[in-house]
Amino acid sequence: MTQSLPFSELSLAPESQRKPISSRGLRFLCRLGQGGMAEVHLANAAPLSAPPSLVVVKRMHQQHVEDPAAVRMFLDEARLALCLSHPNIVRTNRLGMFEGRHGIVMEFLEGQPFHLVLKRAYESEASLSLDFVVQVAIAALDGLHHAHEMKDVLGNPLCLVHRDVSPQNLFVTYDGAVKLLDFGIAKNSMQDGRTRTGLLKGKISYMAPEQARGEDLDRRADLWSLGVVLWEAVTGSRLFKGNNEAATLQLTLSEEISPPSQRRPDLPLELEAILLRALDRDREGRYATAAEMRDDLEAWLSSRDLTQEASLSLVMRRLFAREMREQRQQVQALLQAQPEPAPESGMTLVAPLIGTSATISGSLRGTQVSSVTDLIEELTRQRRVTTRLLGGLVALVACALLFGVYWTLLSRPEQAQRVPAAAPIASELEGQSKNVSAALPAPKSPAIAVASAEPMTNATRDRHPTSAKAVAWAASATMARPSRSPAPASTPDPPPPVPSASAPVDTGLLNLDTTPWSVVTVGGRVLGQTPLIGASLPVGTHTLVLSNAEQGLKTTYQVTISAGKTTARRIGLD
């Protein structure tokens, strides 16, 4: 696993000053960290003359480039990451080649991993708000459920298990977003690079008992791991910690799990029951799905009188005000130190559909593309060129026919009276040209089998369509509209039919009250002034902006809306 983003330890000179790397405008700024498989770089995806667009590149180590097993594992991670599209999972933009090494381009996150959030909270404030912990857990379960429900393009379940849910792989941004990281060792039913028999994957302290015993895993192993994370988050202590990995493994398999209320007496019994159910050593006694556990936590949170401490963004900005300021200053210094661009080296899309080795060939052989969007544009461009060539050919045939008829009329004036008028002839020839165009075979375009990694606004939990299907629909809709061919003077062809609008998004209701009153906006849209009763919102996680101009108060708060349910919240702003 690669390390998180340790900005406080950035002491290396930017790599781009020693050896500039440029690919479609992407320039490396510095190396952030490294693990056994890859190194992590901060990069700028925008040209020097444009506002910066920061991304993170996870690039394979040079020593693994010639190892087929290592390459397969890295590509497994990349293919899976490209298919995962959810607000609570780190977004992967594309897979590319950087000087002969595979690299995964991901979104840049400003924030801290959850283990550092816990460390700072218990060092500076002695504890962390239960409301804060539960909101992080709800978001993580939302992302896990989306991953667990993933299917391939044929509708077959991928049986995905993360296998490394831990505080290091949960990330909380300064804006209050929660992201699940690192599916690098995730197990799914269609992997190319298989895990060797008997090889344990994941952190021993958070490993489910059946995972430690080497048994077949299902989604419930991830729920155990998250249960350990929550137990430690609410108590401020480790659940399984031996003198070495073998001792820790033995504790995981046999140590009695003490109720967290013994360490934190103010822990509500309802919340304790949820945690202990997730930590049942018999997986049959745990929650069957992440959605079930999420719903129980949401029900508990809805019964609370929430205060300002419940705002994830406010807690993060309070705990890490200095780090946030220093990180931004360091990034600004790196951006200002960028050298002049070097000659570009191509990035080639090398991520076929999960579980297949199919690649895009035919008319695209030799064409370099760097993302699904570029691929669709290239296919559309080639279709347009082919259609224009066919249209030009039809126009030339029509003109030749018209010229032939006109020459015949001039050479045989005695038959001019029996020749139909020019307009009917042109109309007839236009109809012939249309028939010729319809008879010519349309160029075939390969099926798009790569999933998009673009962010989804108003994401719907387990109702998300798979990204691969969405991209396939977008590609077919784009390439189904050829350019109209130039034709002789006539009424233009009717425009192609517009694709039908996508299905309506499921909605839920929000009841919200704040002290003092506030104006509530979501995504720039004003919902109204509190108290809000029955405000309709799409299913998913939303960031509310709460402002009171009279008292100069403004804050943000995340809320998760369920289909057909009413979510109630009460928040203190002062």
Cα 561 from Cα 316, distance rounded (Å): 23
Q: Which amino acid is at 48?
A: L
DSSP state of 502: P
Residue 555 burial by Cβ neighbours in a 10 Å radius (0-12, 13-18, 19+)? buried
- Kindly state the greatest CA–CA separation across the chain: 113
Question: What per-residue string of b and e applies to 244-261 under the rule 16 or more CB within 10 Å gives b?
Answer: eeeebbebbeeeeeeebb
Cα 319 vs. chain centroid, distance in angstroms?
A: 27
Strand bridging mode 566-572 / 507-515? parallel
Q: Where does residue 202 fall: left (phi above 0), alpha (psi -120 to 50 degrees), or beta otherwise?
A: left
Give the residue from 234, 241, 231, 245 showing the smallest Cα distance to 280: 231
**Rounded to 5°, angle at Cα 504 from 501 and 507:** 160
Cα 451 from Cα 467, distance rounded (Å): 5
Give the residue from 259, 244, 238 showing the smallest Cα distance to 118: 238
Q: Show Cβ contacts of residue 367 under 8 Å, excluding neighbours closer than 6 positions.
A: 378
Residue 175 burial by Cβ neighbours in a 10 Å radius (0-12, 13-18, 19+)? middle
Is the separation of the CB atoms in 312 and 121 below 8 Å? no
Is the separation of the CB atoms in 458 and 505 below 8 Å? yes
The yes-or-no answer on residue 305 being catalytic is: no
Residue 294 burial by Cβ neighbours in a 10 Å radius (0-12, 13-18, 19+)? buried
Q: Show Cβ contacts of residue 457 under 8 Å, excluding neighbours closer than 6 positions.
A: 523
Give the residue from 356, 227, 358, 237 showing the smallest Cα distance to 296: 227
Cα 429 from Cα 433, distance rounded (Å): 6
Cα 32 from Cα 428, distance rounded (Å): 69
Q: Which of 76, 131, 152, 164 is catalytic?
A: 164
Is the separation of the CB atoms in 158 and 189 below 8 Å? yes
Give the residue from 460, 468, 376 showing the smallest Cα distance to 84: 468
Residue whose structure tokens are 């309070």 = 318
Residue 160 burial by Cβ neighbours in a 10 Å radius (0-12, 13-18, 19+)? buried
**Rounded to 5°, angle at Cα 85 from 84 and 88:** 100
Cα 177 from Cα 420, distance rounded (Å): 74
Give how far Cα 462 sits from Cα of 221, 232, 291, 560, Å: 19, 28, 8, 13
Adjacent-strand bridge partners of 57 = 41, 105
Q: Which amino acid is at 422?
A: A
**Which residues are tagged catalytic?**
164
